[in-house]
Amino acid sequence: MGVTASAPAKVILFGEHFVVYGEPAIVLAIDRRAYAKTEKRSDKLLHLRSTNLNLSAIIQNGNFKVEQGDLKEARMKFEPVELAVKRILEKYGENVGLDIEITSTVPVGAGLGSSAAVVAAVATSVGALLDIQMSKEDIFKITCEAEKAVHGTPSGVDPAISTFGGALLFQMDTGFKPLEVKTDIPLVIGDTGVERSTRVQVEKVKEITEKYPQIIEPVMLAAREIVLRAMDACKKNELETLGELMNLNHALLHAVGVSDESLEWLINAAKKAGALGAKLTGAGGGGCMIALAENEKLRGVLEAIQSAGGRPFIARKTDEGARIERD
């Protein structure tokens, strides 16, 4: 008998990049989830399978053997999962073989936190199967450790949102705080399909900040003010204000050089179709954009993004973090 668990993906609603310089950011868990089903094996092997990526591998004492797919890709994709499982087994003194099957509805490599969602789902299912009393805090720590070791992202935004769900305010020096959000924030997410590297985009902002400190300083201040006002608008369910703030936030991101043609194209299409606001989300330079729209406009915005060459889907905030699925 296996145990299935799931965890949500994320979007950064406001404050990406500026968050690296100590400003606040708002992150949202969305209703796209990664699922992990774990079963015990009669031997001591770890068997990992990803149904979406058509990858599977057997791991024994750190020895990695690919069964299906490319070795390099399998290693890369499974590394954080392997690390998390190893950590759980060590920490709780378990010595068992496991079969883990991963299925995800989260686009991969698009800045939506698919990797952290998978790891949080795996950690939750392994914990439940072995009857280990793991708190959400334990799941978060293990997911964070695995993600940091592999992706080197210091902020821990993805593991936090995948574990706890809902909306979080994040700031480097104070960490995470749950945010009160009255609306489910109807979004259309558009994947440009353009590959991007978070590291390269973060480096771009660093260069411009170092070159023009007096110009970028007020940009950072404006980014902070946008987040403060957005917190208030979230509390009061003011969608129109949120849309305007998204447009302003995008203009700042454009100013520091992290938008690109593919994003501008989709953002303009969304606005023309009646979105209340639109911006890039995450690192930029490709990846995804988000558009906020009233319910009756969502389909039109989705179609406009599709016609402009993007891969769109409708998403809403979810309060459900990592959880066990009862089948």
Which residues are tagged catalytic? 158
Residues 202-241 that bind ligand PMV (CB under 6 A): 202
Q: What is the dihedral of CA 22, 28, 34, 40, to 10 degrees?
A: 70
Q: Give min distance, CB of 106 to ligand PMV, in A.
A: 12
Interacting stretch for ligand PMV, rule CB under 6 A, among 11-19, 100-108, 226-234, 311-319? 11-19
153 lies in the binding site for ligand PMV (CB under 6 A)? yes
Find, among 225, 267, 238, the residue nearest to 250 by Cα: 267
Q: Are strands 97-104 and 46-50 parallel, antiparallel or unpaired?
A: parallel
- Look at phi and psi of residue 148 and say left if phi exceeds 0, alpha if psi is from -120 to 50, else beta: alpha
Stretch of 28-36, 97-105, 151-159, 271-279 lying at the interface with ligand PMV (CB under 6 A): 151-159
Confirm if 205 and 257 have CB atoms less than 8 A apart: yes
Which residue type does 211 have?
K
23 counts as binding ligand PMV under rule CB under 6 A? no
Q: What part of residues 51-110 is at the interface with ligand PMV (CB under 6 A)? A: none
Contacts of residue 177, Cβ cutoff 8 Å, sequence gap at least 6 = 168, 169, 170
Choice from 198, 249, 259, 318 touching ligand PMV (CB under 6 A): 198
19 or 74: whose CB is closer to ligand PMV? 19
Q: How far apart are CA 262 and CA 308, in angstroms?
A: 9
In the complex, minimum distance from the CB of residue 287 to ligand PMV, in angstroms, rounded to a whole number: 6
- Would you tell me which residues interact with ligand PMV (CB under 6 A)? 16-17, 19-20, 111, 153, 155, 157, 198, 201-202, 282-283, 287
